[in-house]
Amino acid sequence: MFDFLDLERYNLLGAFWLTAQLAFWSALGSLIWGTVLAAMRVGPAPLMRNFAAGYVHLLRNTPLTVILVACSIGMYQTLGVTLGAEGSIREINFRLAIFGLIAYTSAFVCEAVRSGINTVPMGQAEAGRALGLGFTQVLTVIVLPQAFRSVVGPLASVLIALTKNTTVAAAIGVAEAAYLMKAMIENEADALFLIFAMFAFGFIALTLPTGLVLGWVSKRVGVKR
């Protein structure tokens, strides 16, 4: 019979800590790259607009599992790309998982930020250009600050989805929560429902505070039109 108090040998906290790290670094990278893509999508250069649009459509319609497996097999095993100093296979797969999650999630961040950009009245951008500001200055000084205030809620949904999507990293051997859950189910089949309940509670503990905090922030900083 499965002993609830004997969870230390499975390193449950370590698995969820790895999940939290995956979510944090992937969210940070996705926010940066997604914002750059959004800027490209509304930019004046057709080549950049077409690249960003093609990237978003391609990545949003590609299964995340395919992207992560492609990062592991294509980048590491075929091309030898490790995205950092050499280390153990788990360390390399951890970095590749972050890269894949960023590549995938940034497409959704891009569309959320672009929708926020579209809520900013055109007159404000035109006023900035009339004052002699360039496209980058208008975007960073006038448009993006207002755009982010209007998309805190949608970005919170993307972040919550990202946290749940970290479970796909188990496909390339990253020992996060879903990877551990699979091992526990194989070894402790008589406690199936208890294991599911523990991991469900763990993910709720990760995502619920994020949703509540960002929901409160969205109400506080939301732009009143």
- CA 157 to chain CA centroid, Å, is 10
Structural domain boundaries in the chain: 9-221
Which residue ranges of the chain lie beneath pLDDT 50? 1-2, 4-5
pLDDT at 48: 92
What CA–CA distance (Å, rounded) separates 84 from 208?
A: 33
- pLDDT tens string 76-117: 777 777 776 676 777 888 888 899 999 999 999 999 999 988
What CA–CA distance (Å, rounded) separates 126 from 103?
A: 33
What CA–CA distance (Å, rounded) separates 140 from 202?
A: 38
- From 3.90.850.10, 1.10.3720.10, 1.25.40.10, 3.50.50.60, which CATH number describes the 9-221 domain? 1.10.3720.10
Indicate the pTM of the whole model. 0.84
Q: What angle do CA 15, 18, 21 make, to 5 degrees?
A: 155
